[in-house]
Amino acid sequence: MLGRFFAAFKRRQYRGGRPGRWARIENRLSAIVFAAGVMPERAATLDVRGRKSGRLISFPIAIADHEGERYLVAMLGERTNWVLNVRAGDGRAVLRHGRREEVRLIEEPAARRAAILQRFLQVAPGARPHFPIDRNAASTEFERIADRYPVFRIAHA
Q: What is the pLDDT of residues 101-121, one digit of tens each?
A: 999 999 999 999 999 999 999
Give me the pLDDT at residue 106, please: 98
Share of the chain above pLDDT 90, in %: 64
Quote the CA–CA distance of 68 and 45 in Å, as a whole number.
Answer: 21
Residue segments in the chain with a per-residue pLDDT below the cut of 50: 5-6
Strand partners, 79: none
Quote the CA–CA distance of 54 and 57 in Å, as a whole number.
Answer: 9
Give me the pLDDT at residue 4, please: 65
Give me the pLDDT at residue 126, please: 85
157 class by beta-carbon count within 10 Å (0-12 exposed, 13-18 middle, 19+ buried): exposed
pTM score of the predicted model: 0.82
Q: Which CATH superfamily is domain 2-156 in?
A: Electron Transport, Fmn-binding Protein; Chain A (2.30.110.10)
53 Cβ contact list (under 8 Å, min separation 6): none
Give me the pLDDT at residue 41, please: 75
